[in-house]
């Protein structure tokens, strides 16, 4: 596409009052997209049973949405220049709601996957546009408050998604997890209509070659992350083809786009060290946050035997802690302390909470499971608010939409990477621990005989062997979950050096503001 000059987008002055209808509308808009990323997971077993499909087919219900979203999201800035922010966000809300309703009405997995693709395409614009509009609605000195409100939607909503999904699935139907988007979309659209200014648009020439290369590279990466573990990674021809496509198309896209004024993505944004460092940090944080959230229901329901509702309720304390932390950070802390120190504390708390989960055993009760989540939740607020503020501190208003799109992609890829890593870790470590624990047990093992004696079982009998195998499987699974939780904790701590890359905000550079 050709480089577009700054279009006449009305920008708010710092003295203008915050329009709270816009604020509430964009937060609800952000909730629409991120809530859908976790609420649907809870309903997958019911969807699988309703359609009579395999696990591989079920994965495509998640993968289709994520791939479409990640591919389209970096194009946000381009579409804003082409059709205007007001028209784009209202179209995206209507399109997302429409495809949500169609997902709820689906009668086959093919229809469901097609509708999830539509959801992903329209949903891709919601997060970047919501973030840029929210930034514009607040003066620069109150950006922390803006990000605290935005964080309530972007971070707390997916944390509470499993709880809401469990309630809707238990008392209504799996279709309700899609229909719940409709009133949220209608309310957000109603408040937004008439509030956003109309904008001048420009006729742009699309760089179709660059667009095709970018889509192929990002889609291949997302497919690898989503399907790698279930397809045994590079043992699968599909994963091999995806990896080759990623390398070839990604390399050509970057080589071709360096210094290219009309490139589909503005690489010059990454020359800002704060923005570049923030993208690395948010990806690592996505591994820590979404990696632990993804496997916690499996641990609680599959291994500890908690009912689905109790497993969902476990996320409520985490969500409350994250919400309280964000409000406190945005309203008070981010303007009083160096945001980089808050970032580091947030990473430490997030990592510590995840590592505490690695010390749980098969007898863990509700609060033993919930308290580590609360520690991680406190870390989320301390991380997310200052990180978003620091990431965009040097980005001008005319580049806000495009920067938000890139930032949103790295956040999404971080969550996908986290889920893929912990899935691979879980599967491989289960095999390792089972083999290790089973290696020393034989029918003649005196320890095994003593263990089975009170149960009137003998290790040489089929009943005794089956019982021992079940115990080994259970203990091996526990050790594998502990390893996976430990990995997500380490991921958070590994991001600590990245914080040093970020520039110190000018507001904190003066001695009078130092802490």
Query: What is residue 189's predicted lDDT score, i.e. its pLDDT?
Result: 82
Which tops the pLDDT comparison, 195 or 67? Answer: 67
Nearest-angstrom CA–CA distance, 44 and 297: 13
In a domain, residue 325? The reply is yes
Answer yes or no: do 48 and 147 share one domain: yes
Nearest-angstrom CA–CA distance, 17 and 35: 29
Query: What is residue 425's predicted lDDT score, i.e. its pLDDT?
Result: 81
Answer yes or no: do 416 and 459 share one domain: yes
In a domain, residue 6? The reply is no
Domain extent at residue 222: 207-263
Which tops the pLDDT comparison, 230 or 87? Answer: 87
How many helices and strands (H and E) does the chain possess? Answer: 21, 0
Measure CA 34 to chain center: 7
- Of the candidates 144, 177, 196, which is a domain's last residue? 196
Average pLDDT, the chain: 77
Nearest-angstrom CA–CA distance, 103 and 114: 9
Answer yes or no: do 410 and 358 share one domain: yes
Which tops the pLDDT comparison, 277 or 466? Answer: 277
Confidence of residue 221 (pLDDT cuts 50, 70, 90): confident
Answer yes or no: do 247 and 387 share one domain: no
Is the alpha carbon torsion for 97, 100, 104, 108 positive or negative?
positive
- Of the candidates 263, 288, 310, which is a domain's last residue? 263
Confidence of residue 458 (pLDDT cuts 50, 70, 90): low
Most confident of the ranges 93-107, 266-280, 444-458: 93-107
Q: Is the pLDDT of residue 3 over 50?
A: no
Answer yes or no: do 270 and 409 share one domain: yes
Nearest-angstrom CA–CA distance, 349 and 493: 9
Answer yes or no: do 164 and 285 share one domain: no
Answer yes or no: do 171 and 215 share one domain: no
Nearest-angstrom CA–CA distance, 184 and 190: 10
pLDDT one-digit tens code per residue, 277-311: 888 888 888 888 878 887 887 788 778 888 777 77
Nearest-angstrom CA–CA distance, 265 and 406: 8
pLDDT one-digit tens code per residue, 413-453: 787 778 778 878 888 888 888 888 777 666 666 666 666 66
In a domain, residue 3? The reply is no
Answer yes or no: do 103 and 185 share one domain: yes
Answer yes or no: do 300 and 345 share one domain: yes
Answer yes or no: do 307 and 414 share one domain: yes
Q: How many domains does the chain have?
A: 3
The per-residue DSSP string of 225-265 comes to HHHTTTTTGGGSHHHHHHHHHHHHHHHHHHHHHTT-TT-SS
Q: Is the pLDDT of residue 237 over 80?
A: yes
The per-residue DSSP string of 327-364 comes to HHHHHTGGGTS-HHHHHHHHHHHHHHHHHHHTT--TT-
Most confident of the ranges 101-110, 130-139, 446-455: 101-110
Give me the percent of the chain exceeding a pLDDT of 70: 79
Answer yes or no: do 366 and 238 share one domain: no
pLDDT one-digit tens code per residue, 390-422: 887 787 777 777 787 788 778 877 877 787 788
Answer yes or no: do 297 and 157 share one domain: no
pTM score of the predicted model: 0.74
């Amino acid at each position: 596409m050709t480089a577009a000059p700054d279009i006449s987008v009305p920008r708010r002055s710092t003295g203008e009052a915050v329009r709270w209808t816009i604020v509430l509308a964009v937060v609800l808009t952000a909730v629409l997209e991120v809530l859908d990323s976790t609420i649907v997971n809870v309903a997958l077993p019911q969807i699988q049973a309703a359609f009579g499909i395999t696990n591989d087919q079920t994965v495509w219900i998640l993968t289709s949405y994520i791939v479409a979203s990640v591919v389209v999201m970096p194009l946000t800035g381009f579409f804003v220049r082409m059709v205007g922010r007001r028209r784009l966000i209202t179209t995206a809300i209507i399109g997302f709601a429409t495809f949500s309703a169609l997902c709820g009405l689906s009668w086959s997995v093919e229809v469901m996957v097609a509708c999830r693709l539509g959801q992903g395409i329209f949903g891709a614009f919601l997060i970047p546009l919501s973030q840029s509009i929210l930034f514009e609605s607040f003066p620069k000195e109150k950006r922390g408050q803006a990000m605290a409100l935005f964080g309530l939607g972007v971070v707390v909503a997916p944390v509470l998604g499993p709880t809401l999904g469990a309630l809707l699935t238990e008392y209504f139907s799996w279709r309700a997890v899609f229909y719940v988007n409709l009133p949220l979309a209608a309310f957000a659209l109603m408040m937004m209509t008439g509030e956003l200014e109309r904008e001048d648009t420009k006729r742009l020439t699309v760089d179709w070659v660059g667009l095709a290369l970018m889509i192929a590279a990002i889609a291949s990466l997302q497919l690898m992350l989503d399907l790698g573990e279930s397809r045994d990674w590079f043992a699968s021809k599909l994963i091999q083809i995806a990896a080759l496509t990623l390398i070839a198309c990604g390399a050509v896209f970057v080589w071709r786009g360096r210094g290219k004024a009309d490139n589909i993505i503005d690489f010059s944004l990454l020359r800002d060290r704060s923005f570049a460092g923030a993208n690395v940090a948010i990806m690592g944080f996505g591994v820590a946050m979404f990696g632990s959230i993804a496997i916690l229901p499996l641990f609680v329901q599959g291994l500890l035997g908690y009912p689905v509702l109790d497993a969902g309720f476990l996320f409520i304390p985490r969500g409350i802690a994250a919400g309280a932390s964000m409000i406190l950070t945005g309203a008070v802390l981010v303007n009083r302390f160096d945001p980089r120190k808050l970032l580091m504390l947030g990473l430490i708390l997030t990592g510590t909470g995840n590592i505490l989960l690695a010390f749980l055993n098969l007898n863990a009760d509700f609060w033993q499971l919930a308290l580590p989540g609360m520690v991680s939740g406190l870390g989320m607020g301390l991380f997310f608010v200052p990180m978003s503020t620091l990431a965009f501190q040097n980005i001008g208003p005319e580049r806000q939409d495009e920067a938000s799109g890139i930032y949103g992609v790295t956040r999404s890829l971080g969550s996908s990477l986290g889920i893929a890593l912990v899935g691979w870790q879980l599967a491989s470590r289960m095999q390792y621990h089972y083999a290790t624990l089973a290696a020393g047990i034989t029918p003649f093992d005196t320890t095994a005989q003593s263990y089975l004696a009170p149960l009137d079982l003998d290790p040489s009998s089929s009943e005794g062997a089956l019982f021992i195998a079940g115990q080994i499987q259970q203990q091996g699974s526990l050790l594998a979950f502990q390893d996976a939780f430990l990995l997500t904790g380490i991921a958070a701590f590994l991001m600590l050096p990245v914080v040093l890359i970020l520039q110190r905000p000018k507001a904190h550079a003066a001695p009078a503001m130092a802490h």
